Structure 1
């Protein structure tokens, strides 16, 4: 919670002695309890749900993490990227190389995947930050294609057809053997349980990082840069520096997520790891449907996306058509997404990031959120 004390320029006997700036309200206090309950339920889920449901939860959590990263870029930093599959695929390939060629522990390999994706984002930012608007979006996609074509030449990892991870590699995950022995489950199911717990940790860490950042002074500066770059620069904010930091952070978490996804899949190929549909188009759909520029939006969006996938996935091209029509309808009738529409009607925010100036006869909201 942010608290500042401001003194009015001219004080009178009727004037309050101070003003209070806060981002907390009753809903956010309730959200703390809700998050704790969700974490407890999430940790306990593998003990009660079947393996198929656990794999579905793994999918939801990894897509949620990718959506939070893209939302941080586009919704708060104004960086509309359509090349995030570059970091998903690169993180996955570095993880696979570390496991297959170097025999590293899978957890260490996942961390290397995230760090490698962050390192890739440095030269990537050097080029794409010179572009703006649609040119920035196209530039990120072109770089992702360059990375895909380059890794497709890596013969040690199967070239264009890809390769599989060593048999039973997920059994080396910390806790997998312990879970198999204690719970009397098959090693493959125990490995799925550990992968799920890692995805749960990653999802809550991504949400927590975004929330913490947006409630900080840096988050306020980020919103200022997104809304008016020149005005932000005039008050001492370096737009390039703050956007670069967010771009690196999003690449790191995206790379971690890609590495974890393909460790669980146990097979990798260039076309799958760098799929613009799976790792960017679907992620954009999730954020737009749920509500761009809100932390709650991707959570709502990923649930809607999962339900639609289960209902229409067997209908081929009709599935994509339904997603497209729904996306257009939301953009036309609820430009702020489903959560934005809900917030407009109820005023409820579980993760508020706007500053509320309280004191005196008026209570005023200070701009600091995505639409405030």
Structure 2
């Protein structure tokens, strides 16, 4: 009986908790597009998703992670180091490469890391064991969530309630691709390349504008009003909750097709070009909207290229730009408390007048 219980526990431990299929999610096209483009090109800079409670934000974010192809990492490495890309290696792996040592590798699922609201800076960044460093001369680093999220997705639910200092740390790491921990003159640096995804409810407070600007894209989602769509959403969720494996089987073909499209788009991305005239038009839109800095121009160019790659093209067209530009610019506009027009509509008005 004892051995039987051990077997049951082992089976349950190995059993992966089913994730709601991305292709089964009804509506919320803006959020789904923003997430897809960010996994095709993580350099877009992540996405902030703001919307009503109970609109499937968390479900969609976890579903996109489940779609991504496995990644190759150095075996037993704490930072998911890439075995050949120097920029994605920890110092220990770099040392092995420089010595010419063989690096054993393994394939793992793309990391999906949740950052809890109550997390401390040490939990996020990692800690250095000062006592061991001083007494034994050994630099011992306990990795944090940024290390675990390297080459994956870091998800912060209710990011607008997160301590501003932690948001600064996250955005700096996301922008630079590195996390540096310094304690008592001892410093450890490791790669931290991840897609930063934040979600929140605007009723609970806004992010500071300078922090909001650091997110590549901003998706706004609203509760579905159409009765037939609401019924369809409820049916899909009920079907999944009653028997997730049957639901997964039903959408397996669509999931496989989308997985293949993402992988192909990632490979094609480096060959996608955008004509000079179209780049000028993008910058003209940003200038007309009085967008501060150049992040809006850069992100719009990147997102348009990712969309072209997703659509099996190597050249960006004007429709690609029109599709992504609101997502890239709406959160970068200066807020006027007396203005009644929505920021997304304002972007669209300028886009229609310039991108003809």
Smaller-chain TM-score bracket: under 0.3
Please state which structure has a larger fraction of its residues in helix: 1
Give the TM-score normalised by the residue count of structure 1: 0.23
Q: Which has the higher contact order (CA 8 A, sep 6+)?
A: 1
TM-score by length of 2: 0.24
More strand by share: 2
